[in-house]
Structure 1
Protein backbone atom coordinates (compact mmCIF):
# COMPACT_ATOMS: atom_id res chain seq x y z
CA UNK A 1 0.00 0.00 0.00
CA UNK A 2 2.92 2.34 0.82
CA UNK A 3 4.39 1.64 -2.62
CA UNK A 4 1.09 2.55 -4.30
CA UNK A 5 0.89 5.75 -2.25
CA UNK A 6 4.46 6.64 -3.17
CA UNK A 7 3.80 6.06 -6.88
CA UNK A 8 0.61 8.09 -6.63
CA UNK A 9 2.32 11.06 -4.97
CA UNK A 10 5.72 10.93 -6.73
CA UNK A 11 6.77 14.31 -8.12
CA UNK A 12 9.40 15.77 -10.40
CA UNK A 13 10.87 18.88 -8.80
CA UNK A 14 12.26 21.57 -11.10
CA UNK A 15 13.27 24.65 -9.14
CA UNK A 16 10.19 25.64 -7.15
CA UNK A 17 7.86 23.72 -9.48
CA UNK A 18 6.40 20.36 -8.49
CA UNK A 19 5.04 18.18 -11.29
CA UNK A 20 3.33 14.89 -10.57
CA UNK A 21 4.77 11.92 -12.40
CA UNK A 22 1.16 10.87 -12.94
CA UNK A 23 0.71 13.96 -15.10
CA UNK A 24 3.89 13.27 -17.07
CA UNK A 25 3.19 9.56 -17.59
CA UNK A 26 -0.45 10.20 -18.46
CA UNK A 27 0.58 12.61 -21.18
CA UNK A 28 3.21 10.18 -22.49
CA UNK A 29 0.48 7.56 -22.86
CA UNK A 30 -1.57 10.19 -24.70
CA UNK A 31 1.32 10.83 -27.08
CA UNK A 32 1.76 7.10 -27.75
CA UNK A 33 -1.98 6.91 -28.41
CA UNK A 34 -1.68 9.76 -30.92
CA UNK A 35 1.23 8.02 -32.67
CA UNK A 36 -0.80 4.84 -32.89
CA UNK A 37 -3.78 6.79 -34.17
CA UNK A 38 -1.70 8.37 -36.92
CA UNK A 39 -0.64 4.87 -38.00
CA UNK A 40 -4.26 3.67 -37.60
CA UNK A 41 -3.36 0.96 -35.05
CA UNK A 42 -6.11 -0.51 -32.87
CA UNK A 43 -3.83 -0.60 -29.81
CA UNK A 44 -3.91 3.21 -29.73
CA UNK A 45 -7.30 3.15 -27.98
CA UNK A 46 -6.45 1.06 -24.85
CA UNK A 47 -3.15 2.92 -24.46
CA UNK A 48 -5.07 6.19 -24.51
CA UNK A 49 -7.51 4.93 -21.88
CA UNK A 50 -4.66 4.28 -19.43
CA UNK A 51 -3.44 7.84 -19.93
CA UNK A 52 -6.97 9.18 -19.41
CA UNK A 53 -7.30 7.41 -16.07
CA UNK A 54 -4.02 8.88 -14.84
CA UNK A 55 -4.86 12.41 -15.96
CA UNK A 56 -8.32 12.22 -14.41
CA UNK A 57 -6.64 12.03 -10.99
CA UNK A 58 -4.44 15.01 -11.85
CA UNK A 59 -7.09 17.49 -12.96
CA UNK A 60 -9.32 16.91 -9.92
CA UNK A 61 -6.78 18.71 -7.77
CA UNK A 62 -8.87 19.17 -4.62
CA UNK A 63 -10.14 15.59 -4.75
CA UNK A 64 -6.75 13.88 -5.12
CA UNK A 65 -4.70 16.52 -3.26
CA UNK A 66 -2.37 17.38 -6.14
CA UNK A 67 0.30 20.11 -5.85
CA UNK A 68 -2.03 22.43 -7.77
CA UNK A 69 -5.24 22.43 -5.72
CA UNK A 70 -7.27 23.51 -8.75
CA UNK A 71 -10.19 21.72 -10.37
CA UNK A 72 -10.21 21.87 -14.17
CA UNK A 73 -13.61 20.25 -14.57
CA UNK A 74 -13.51 20.41 -18.35
CA UNK A 75 -10.13 18.68 -18.38
CA UNK A 76 -11.26 16.09 -15.82
CA UNK A 77 -14.60 15.54 -17.50
CA UNK A 78 -13.00 15.03 -20.86
CA UNK A 79 -10.91 12.18 -19.46
CA UNK A 80 -14.15 10.38 -18.58
CA UNK A 81 -15.53 11.27 -22.01
CA UNK A 82 -12.33 9.98 -23.65
CA UNK A 83 -12.74 6.62 -21.95
CA UNK A 84 -16.36 6.27 -23.10
CA UNK A 85 -15.70 7.35 -26.70
CA UNK A 86 -12.47 5.36 -26.82
CA UNK A 87 -14.38 2.16 -26.11
CA UNK A 88 -16.59 3.02 -29.12
CA UNK A 89 -13.53 3.75 -31.27
CA UNK A 90 -11.76 0.61 -30.09
CA UNK A 91 -14.71 -1.57 -31.10
CA UNK A 92 -15.17 0.26 -34.42
CA UNK A 93 -11.50 0.00 -35.39
CA UNK A 94 -11.30 -3.67 -34.38
CA UNK A 95 -14.23 -4.43 -36.66
CA UNK A 96 -12.42 -2.88 -39.65
CA UNK A 97 -8.91 -4.10 -38.80
CA UNK A 98 -6.92 -5.20 -41.86
CA UNK A 99 -4.33 -7.98 -42.12
CA UNK A 100 -1.46 -5.45 -41.87
CA UNK A 101 -2.65 -4.28 -38.45
CA UNK A 102 -4.16 -0.99 -39.62
CA UNK A 103 -7.83 -0.36 -39.21
CA UNK A 104 -10.19 2.44 -40.23
CA UNK A 105 -9.65 4.02 -43.65
CA UNK A 106 -9.26 7.84 -43.50
CA UNK A 107 -12.13 9.69 -45.14
CA UNK A 108 -13.04 13.34 -45.66
CA UNK A 109 -15.98 14.61 -43.66
CA UNK A 110 -18.86 15.76 -45.84
CA UNK A 111 -19.79 19.44 -46.06
CA UNK A 112 -22.73 18.82 -43.73
CA UNK A 113 -20.51 17.04 -41.22
CA UNK A 114 -18.05 19.94 -41.27
CA UNK A 115 -20.85 22.38 -40.51
CA UNK A 116 -21.94 20.11 -37.67
CA UNK A 117 -18.40 20.16 -36.22
CA UNK A 118 -18.23 23.96 -36.19
CA UNK A 119 -21.75 24.46 -34.81
CA UNK A 120 -21.27 21.77 -32.15
CA UNK A 121 -17.93 23.24 -31.06
CA UNK A 122 -19.19 26.80 -30.70
CA UNK A 123 -22.65 25.90 -29.41
CA UNK A 124 -21.40 23.25 -27.01
CA UNK A 125 -18.88 25.69 -25.54
CA UNK A 126 -21.60 28.30 -25.02
CA UNK A 127 -23.88 25.78 -23.31
CA UNK A 128 -21.27 24.26 -21.02
CA UNK A 129 -19.56 27.48 -19.92
CA UNK A 130 -22.24 28.46 -17.35
CA UNK A 131 -22.44 24.84 -16.17
CA UNK A 132 -18.69 24.65 -15.52
CA UNK A 133 -18.76 28.10 -13.89
CA UNK A 134 -21.51 26.97 -11.51
CA UNK A 135 -19.32 23.97 -10.64
CA UNK A 136 -16.45 26.39 -9.90
CA UNK A 137 -14.14 25.34 -12.68
CA UNK A 138 -10.98 27.35 -13.29
CA UNK A 139 -11.26 30.67 -15.14
CA UNK A 140 -11.56 31.46 -17.97
CA UNK A 141 -14.29 28.83 -17.89
CA UNK A 142 -15.13 29.16 -21.59
CA UNK A 143 -11.64 27.84 -22.40
CA UNK A 144 -12.21 24.77 -20.22
CA UNK A 145 -15.56 24.20 -21.96
CA UNK A 146 -13.97 24.68 -25.41
CA UNK A 147 -11.35 22.05 -24.61
CA UNK A 148 -13.98 19.59 -23.40
CA UNK A 149 -16.28 19.96 -26.41
CA UNK A 150 -13.41 20.02 -28.92
CA UNK A 151 -11.89 16.89 -27.39
CA UNK A 152 -15.23 15.10 -27.63
CA UNK A 153 -15.60 16.02 -31.31
CA UNK A 154 -11.99 15.14 -32.12
CA UNK A 155 -12.19 11.74 -30.46
CA UNK A 156 -15.48 10.96 -32.18
CA UNK A 157 -14.01 12.12 -35.50
CA UNK A 158 -11.02 9.82 -34.99
CA UNK A 159 -13.35 6.88 -34.32
CA UNK A 160 -15.26 7.70 -37.53
CA UNK A 161 -12.03 8.07 -39.49
CA UNK A 162 -12.52 11.74 -40.49
CA UNK A 163 -9.29 13.34 -41.69
CA UNK A 164 -10.43 16.65 -40.23
CA UNK A 165 -10.36 15.36 -36.64
CA UNK A 166 -6.67 16.34 -36.50
CA UNK A 167 -7.58 20.00 -37.12
CA UNK A 168 -10.05 19.94 -34.24
CA UNK A 169 -7.15 18.95 -32.00
CA UNK A 170 -5.20 21.97 -33.25
CA UNK A 171 -8.08 24.22 -32.15
CA UNK A 172 -8.14 22.49 -28.75
CA UNK A 173 -4.39 22.82 -28.25
CA UNK A 174 -4.39 26.52 -29.18
CA UNK A 175 -6.69 27.22 -26.22
CA UNK A 176 -5.37 24.51 -23.92
CA UNK A 177 -1.71 25.60 -23.76
CA UNK A 178 -2.25 29.07 -22.18
CA UNK A 179 -4.99 27.73 -19.87
CA UNK A 180 -2.81 24.92 -18.51
CA UNK A 181 0.18 27.21 -18.02
CA UNK A 182 -1.95 29.66 -16.07
CA UNK A 183 -3.36 26.83 -13.92
CA UNK A 184 0.10 25.45 -13.19
CA UNK A 185 -0.14 22.18 -15.13
CA UNK A 186 3.18 22.64 -16.92
CA UNK A 187 3.73 19.06 -18.07
CA UNK A 188 0.32 18.99 -19.73
CA UNK A 189 0.89 22.44 -21.24
CA UNK A 190 4.17 21.28 -22.76
CA UNK A 191 2.51 18.18 -24.18
CA UNK A 192 -0.32 20.29 -25.62
CA UNK A 193 2.27 22.47 -27.33
CA UNK A 194 3.94 19.39 -28.75
CA UNK A 195 0.58 17.91 -29.75
CA UNK A 196 -0.20 21.09 -31.70
CA UNK A 197 2.69 20.42 -34.07
CA UNK A 198 2.09 16.67 -34.07
CA UNK A 199 -1.59 16.96 -34.97
CA UNK A 200 -0.73 19.06 -38.03
CA UNK A 201 1.60 16.27 -39.15
CA UNK A 202 -1.15 13.72 -38.50
CA UNK A 203 -3.57 15.70 -40.66
CA UNK A 204 -1.21 15.70 -43.64
CA UNK A 205 -0.40 12.00 -43.17
CA UNK A 206 -4.08 11.02 -43.19
CA UNK A 207 -4.84 13.41 -46.05
CA UNK A 208 -2.04 11.87 -48.10
CA UNK A 209 -3.35 8.36 -47.43
CA UNK A 210 -6.83 9.42 -48.56
CA UNK A 211 -5.58 11.19 -51.69
CA UNK A 212 -3.48 8.14 -52.57
CA UNK A 213 -6.77 6.27 -52.83
CA UNK A 214 -7.87 8.77 -55.49
CA UNK A 215 -10.58 10.41 -53.39
CA UNK A 216 -10.60 14.25 -53.47
CA UNK A 217 -12.07 16.45 -50.77
CA UNK A 218 -15.86 17.01 -50.84
CA UNK A 219 -15.47 20.54 -52.24
CA UNK A 220 -13.37 19.26 -55.11
CA UNK A 221 -16.03 16.72 -55.96
CA UNK A 222 -18.74 19.41 -55.99
CA UNK A 223 -16.67 21.65 -58.25
CA UNK A 224 -15.97 18.92 -60.80
Structure 2
Protein backbone atom coordinates (compact mmCIF):
# COMPACT_ATOMS: atom_id res chain seq x y z
CA UNK A 1 0.00 0.00 0.00
CA UNK A 2 2.84 2.37 0.87
CA UNK A 3 4.46 1.65 -2.48
CA UNK A 4 1.21 2.51 -4.20
CA UNK A 5 0.95 5.80 -2.33
CA UNK A 6 4.58 6.61 -3.12
CA UNK A 7 3.92 5.92 -6.81
CA UNK A 8 0.85 8.16 -6.77
CA UNK A 9 2.83 10.98 -5.18
CA UNK A 10 5.83 10.81 -7.51
CA UNK A 11 4.51 9.44 -10.82
CA UNK A 12 4.68 11.74 -13.84
CA UNK A 13 4.21 11.65 -17.60
CA UNK A 14 5.39 13.96 -20.35
CA UNK A 15 3.50 15.80 -23.09
CA UNK A 16 5.91 17.70 -25.33
CA UNK A 17 8.18 19.61 -22.97
CA UNK A 18 5.66 19.53 -20.10
CA UNK A 19 6.10 17.13 -17.17
CA UNK A 20 2.73 16.47 -15.54
CA UNK A 21 2.03 14.80 -12.21
CA UNK A 22 -0.44 11.93 -12.29
CA UNK A 23 -1.89 13.14 -9.00
CA UNK A 24 -2.75 16.45 -10.68
CA UNK A 25 -4.78 14.54 -13.27
CA UNK A 26 -6.35 12.20 -10.72
CA UNK A 27 -7.16 15.06 -8.34
CA UNK A 28 -8.93 16.96 -11.11
CA UNK A 29 -10.86 13.85 -12.15
CA UNK A 30 -12.12 13.54 -8.58
CA UNK A 31 -13.09 17.21 -8.77
CA UNK A 32 -14.98 16.63 -12.02
CA UNK A 33 -16.77 13.63 -10.52
CA UNK A 34 -17.72 15.78 -7.52
CA UNK A 35 -19.11 18.46 -9.82
CA UNK A 36 -21.13 15.83 -11.70
CA UNK A 37 -22.51 14.52 -8.42
CA UNK A 38 -23.35 18.06 -7.34
CA UNK A 39 -25.25 18.70 -10.56
CA UNK A 40 -27.27 15.52 -9.94
CA UNK A 41 -27.72 16.49 -6.26
CA UNK A 42 -25.90 13.42 -4.94
CA UNK A 43 -24.54 13.53 -1.42
CA UNK A 44 -21.48 11.47 -2.40
CA UNK A 45 -20.26 14.53 -4.33
CA UNK A 46 -18.84 15.98 -1.10
CA UNK A 47 -16.51 13.14 0.04
CA UNK A 48 -15.37 12.53 -3.54
CA UNK A 49 -14.47 16.20 -3.82
CA UNK A 50 -12.49 16.07 -0.57
CA UNK A 51 -10.23 13.33 -1.97
CA UNK A 52 -9.48 15.53 -4.99
CA UNK A 53 -8.81 18.51 -2.72
CA UNK A 54 -6.17 16.62 -0.74
CA UNK A 55 -4.35 15.55 -3.90
CA UNK A 56 -4.43 19.00 -5.51
CA UNK A 57 -3.20 20.71 -2.35
CA UNK A 58 0.12 18.91 -2.77
CA UNK A 59 0.20 19.75 -6.49
CA UNK A 60 -0.17 23.53 -6.24
CA UNK A 61 2.61 23.86 -3.66
CA UNK A 62 5.17 22.71 -6.17
CA UNK A 63 8.15 24.42 -4.51
CA UNK A 64 7.19 23.02 -1.11
CA UNK A 65 6.73 19.42 -2.25
CA UNK A 66 9.63 19.57 -4.77
CA UNK A 67 7.52 18.62 -7.78
CA UNK A 68 8.65 19.04 -11.41
CA UNK A 69 6.69 22.32 -11.48
CA UNK A 70 8.30 24.34 -8.68
CA UNK A 71 5.66 27.10 -8.82
CA UNK A 72 3.54 27.92 -5.77
CA UNK A 73 -0.06 28.95 -6.43
CA UNK A 74 -1.09 29.86 -2.89
CA UNK A 75 -4.66 30.69 -3.83
CA UNK A 76 -5.10 27.35 -5.56
CA UNK A 77 -3.48 25.46 -2.68
CA UNK A 78 -5.29 27.41 0.02
CA UNK A 79 -8.66 26.91 -1.57
CA UNK A 80 -8.20 23.15 -1.34
CA UNK A 81 -8.07 23.49 2.45
CA UNK A 82 -11.12 25.74 2.40
CA UNK A 83 -12.89 23.24 0.14
CA UNK A 84 -12.34 20.49 2.69
CA UNK A 85 -13.81 22.59 5.50
CA UNK A 86 -16.79 23.83 3.49
CA UNK A 87 -17.34 20.38 1.99
CA UNK A 88 -17.74 18.89 5.46
CA UNK A 89 -20.33 21.62 6.15
CA UNK A 90 -22.12 20.89 2.87
CA UNK A 91 -22.02 17.15 3.47
CA UNK A 92 -23.69 17.65 6.87
CA UNK A 93 -26.29 20.04 5.44
CA UNK A 94 -27.28 17.70 2.63
CA UNK A 95 -27.49 14.73 4.97
CA UNK A 96 -29.63 16.64 7.47
CA UNK A 97 -32.81 16.00 5.49
CA UNK A 98 -32.55 12.26 5.94
CA UNK A 99 -31.91 12.54 9.68
CA UNK A 100 -34.74 14.99 10.27
CA UNK A 101 -37.42 13.62 7.99
CA UNK A 102 -36.43 10.15 6.83
CA UNK A 103 -36.44 11.45 3.25
CA UNK A 104 -33.71 10.23 0.90
CA UNK A 105 -31.23 13.15 0.91
CA UNK A 106 -30.89 12.85 -2.88
CA UNK A 107 -34.58 13.75 -3.10
CA UNK A 108 -34.48 16.20 -0.24
CA UNK A 109 -32.00 18.59 -1.83
CA UNK A 110 -33.97 21.28 -3.64
CA UNK A 111 -32.13 24.06 -5.53
CA UNK A 112 -33.24 27.62 -4.82
CA UNK A 113 -32.42 31.11 -6.04
CA UNK A 114 -30.27 33.15 -3.70
CA UNK A 115 -32.18 36.43 -4.23
CA UNK A 116 -30.85 39.86 -5.14
CA UNK A 117 -29.62 40.79 -1.67
CA UNK A 118 -27.51 37.65 -1.49
CA UNK A 119 -26.27 38.12 -5.07
CA UNK A 120 -25.04 41.61 -4.21
CA UNK A 121 -23.37 40.25 -1.09
CA UNK A 122 -21.65 37.53 -3.14
CA UNK A 123 -20.38 40.06 -5.70
CA UNK A 124 -19.05 42.40 -3.01
CA UNK A 125 -17.40 39.49 -1.19
CA UNK A 126 -15.76 38.26 -4.40
CA UNK A 127 -14.31 41.63 -5.39
CA UNK A 128 -13.51 42.79 -1.85
CA UNK A 129 -11.91 39.49 -0.89
CA UNK A 130 -9.76 39.58 -4.02
CA UNK A 131 -8.53 43.09 -3.20
CA UNK A 132 -7.69 42.12 0.38
CA UNK A 133 -5.97 38.83 -0.44
CA UNK A 134 -3.90 40.02 -3.40
CA UNK A 135 -1.20 41.81 -1.34
CA UNK A 136 -1.23 38.95 1.18
CA UNK A 137 -0.60 36.33 -1.51
CA UNK A 138 2.01 38.55 -3.14
CA UNK A 139 3.90 38.89 0.14
CA UNK A 140 3.83 35.11 0.52
CA UNK A 141 5.34 34.64 -2.94
CA UNK A 142 2.39 33.50 -5.04
CA UNK A 143 2.58 33.37 -8.84
CA UNK A 144 1.84 36.53 -10.84
CA UNK A 145 -0.67 37.87 -11.63
CA UNK A 146 -1.45 37.45 -7.95
CA UNK A 147 -4.90 39.08 -8.22
CA UNK A 148 -5.98 36.15 -10.42
CA UNK A 149 -4.89 33.65 -7.76
CA UNK A 150 -6.80 35.64 -5.13
CA UNK A 151 -9.88 35.82 -7.39
CA UNK A 152 -9.83 32.05 -7.85
CA UNK A 153 -9.51 31.50 -4.10
CA UNK A 154 -12.43 33.78 -3.21
CA UNK A 155 -14.64 32.56 -6.06
CA UNK A 156 -14.04 28.93 -5.14
CA UNK A 157 -14.86 29.62 -1.50
CA UNK A 158 -18.12 31.39 -2.36
CA UNK A 159 -19.13 28.82 -4.98
CA UNK A 160 -18.60 25.91 -2.60
CA UNK A 161 -20.56 27.69 0.12
CA UNK A 162 -23.32 28.43 -2.40
CA UNK A 163 -23.51 24.77 -3.33
CA UNK A 164 -23.87 23.85 0.34
CA UNK A 165 -26.74 26.39 0.61
CA UNK A 166 -28.28 24.99 -2.61
CA UNK A 167 -28.15 28.36 -4.42
CA UNK A 168 -28.53 28.01 -8.19
CA UNK A 169 -26.19 30.98 -8.70
CA UNK A 170 -23.17 29.10 -7.37
CA UNK A 171 -22.68 27.64 -10.85
CA UNK A 172 -22.20 31.14 -12.29
CA UNK A 173 -19.52 31.88 -9.70
CA UNK A 174 -17.67 28.82 -10.99
CA UNK A 175 -17.88 30.26 -14.51
CA UNK A 176 -16.22 33.45 -13.25
CA UNK A 177 -13.51 31.35 -11.58
CA UNK A 178 -12.87 29.35 -14.75
CA UNK A 179 -12.54 32.46 -16.94
CA UNK A 180 -9.62 33.61 -14.81
CA UNK A 181 -8.29 30.20 -13.84
CA UNK A 182 -7.64 28.81 -17.33
CA UNK A 183 -5.08 31.44 -18.47
CA UNK A 184 -3.47 31.54 -15.00
CA UNK A 185 -2.93 27.78 -14.89
CA UNK A 186 -1.58 27.64 -18.44
CA UNK A 187 0.82 30.47 -17.61
CA UNK A 188 2.00 28.74 -14.43
CA UNK A 189 2.60 25.45 -16.25
CA UNK A 190 -0.24 23.45 -14.69
CA UNK A 191 -1.49 22.14 -18.00
CA UNK A 192 -3.61 19.27 -16.73
CA UNK A 193 -5.55 21.55 -14.40
CA UNK A 194 -5.90 24.22 -17.09
CA UNK A 195 -7.35 21.74 -19.59
CA UNK A 196 -9.69 20.41 -16.93
CA UNK A 197 -10.83 23.98 -16.18
CA UNK A 198 -11.90 24.31 -19.83
CA UNK A 199 -14.18 21.31 -19.35
CA UNK A 200 -15.36 22.75 -16.03
CA UNK A 201 -16.40 25.95 -17.81
CA UNK A 202 -18.79 24.14 -20.14
CA UNK A 203 -19.89 21.84 -17.34
CA UNK A 204 -20.74 24.65 -14.94
CA UNK A 205 -22.97 26.34 -17.50
CA UNK A 206 -24.78 23.03 -17.97
CA UNK A 207 -25.09 22.67 -14.20
CA UNK A 208 -26.62 26.14 -13.93
CA UNK A 209 -29.41 25.31 -16.40
CA UNK A 210 -29.99 21.88 -14.86
CA UNK A 211 -30.34 23.34 -11.35
CA UNK A 212 -32.47 26.27 -12.53
CA UNK A 213 -34.90 23.81 -14.13
CA UNK A 214 -34.74 21.50 -11.12
CA UNK A 215 -36.10 24.02 -8.63
CA UNK A 216 -39.15 22.68 -6.82
CA UNK A 217 -38.85 19.13 -8.16
CA UNK A 218 -37.55 17.61 -4.92
CA UNK A 219 -39.42 16.76 -1.77
CA UNK A 220 -40.52 19.77 0.30
CA UNK A 221 -38.30 20.97 3.10
CA UNK A 222 -39.55 20.42 6.66
CA UNK A 223 -40.97 23.36 8.54
Q: CA distance change for structure 1 residues 103 and 35 in 2, over 3 Å: closer, same or farther?
A: farther
- Counting only pairs closer than 5 Å after superposition, residues 14-163 of structure 1 correspond to structure 2 as 14-97=15-98, 98-99=103-104, 101-163=106-168
Conservation of the 8 A alpha-carbon contact between 1:109 and 1:162: yes
Runs of 4+ in 1 over 4 A off after TM superposition: none
Conservation of the 8 A alpha-carbon contact between 1:42 and 1:103: no
Q: Take 2:45 and 2:157, find their aligned partners in 1: how far apart are those partners?
A: 17
Partner of 1:188: helix, strand, or coil? helix
Unpaired runs of at least 5, structure 1:
214-224
Partner of 1:105: helix, strand, or coil? coil
Cα shift at 1:127:
0.4
Conservation of the 8 A alpha-carbon contact between 1:143 and 1:175: yes
When normalised by structure 1's length, the TM-score is 0.92
Aligned residues: 213
When normalised by structure 2's length, the TM-score is 0.92
Unpaired runs of at least 5, structure 2:
219-223
Q: CA distance change for structure 1 residues 142 and 100 in 2, over 3 Å: closer, same or farther?
A: closer
Structure 1 window deviating more from structure 2 (2-11 vs 140-149): it is 2-11
Cα shift at 1:102:
3.6
Partner of 2:14: helix, strand, or coil? strand
Conservation of the 8 A alpha-carbon contact between 1:169 and 1:199: yes
Partner of 1:138: helix, strand, or coil? coil
1:176 maps onto 2:184 in alignment: no
- Superposed CA RMSD in Å reads 1.4
